């Protein structure tokens, strides 16, 4: 009953696969595995959940300082989840990677500290769980425009996305503001 882990092309980021049992009643999923958390040196400090309308973009979010590592799951619906490596000196600095996470494919991601995170809701009512290894701090939370040209994320948008006023106000990538040493 172990959650699967596979290396992704950015830094120490991982693709996770939920342990799932299906039968005539439905399905039973495991999202937290103490052995996996120990291996990742990930101590859960907070868990957040968001419910999202279709075509909502959240992000790109980060905390600087007080970076957070995150584990992201989508137990209902479907999202296109994006991470961006903001660690100066990393071989994958300013590179991005996306995975489709859904209740059907059982995928999740582990996003290390020093990354920005965001997602696009591909279905109505997509539900996203965020496990964080440090506390959310609104004083140091910031973000980057989802459509920043320098980062160049190819979002699978059908139309202009729905953004919060805060996310809409994020500026373009600025190394002084957003990069981690």
Enumerate the active-site residues: 61, 130
Contact between residue 57 and residue 162 where contact means Cβ atoms under 8 Å apart: yes
- For residues 89, 117, 148, 96, the Cα torsion angle rounded to the nearest 10 degrees is 50
Q: In whole angstroms, give the CA distance from residue 26 to residue 23.
A: 6
Q: In whole angstroms, give the CA distance from residue 173 to residue 108.
A: 26
- Which residue do the tokens 């968001």 mark? 50
Strands 126-132 and 46-52: antiparallel
Q: In whole angstroms, give the CA distance from residue 136 to residue 158.
A: 31
User: Count of CB atoms within 10 A of residue 125's CB?
Assistant: 11
């Amino acid at each position: 009953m172990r959650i699967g882990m596979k290396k992704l092309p950015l830094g120490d980021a991982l693709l996770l696969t939920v342990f799932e049992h299906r039968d005539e009643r439905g399905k039973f999923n495991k999202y937290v595995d103490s052995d996996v958390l120990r291996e990742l040196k990930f101590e859960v400090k907070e868990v957040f959940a968001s419910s999202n309308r279709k075509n909502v973009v959240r992000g790109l979010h980060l905390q600087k300082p007080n970076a957070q590592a995150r584990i992201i799951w989508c137990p209902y619906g479907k999202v296109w989840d994006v991470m961006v490596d903001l660690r100066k000196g990393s071989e994958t600095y300013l590179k991005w990677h996306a995975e489709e996470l859904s209740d059907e494919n059982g995928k999740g991601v582990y996003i290390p500290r020093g990354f920005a995170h965001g997602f696009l809701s591909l279905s109505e009512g997509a539900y996203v769980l965020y496990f964080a290894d440090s506390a959310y701090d609104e004083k140091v939370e910031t973000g980057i425009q989802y459509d920043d040209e320098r980062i160049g994320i190819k979002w699978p948008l059908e139309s202009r996305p729905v953004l919060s006023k805060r996310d809409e106000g994020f500026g373009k990538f600025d190394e002084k503001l957003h990069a981690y040493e």
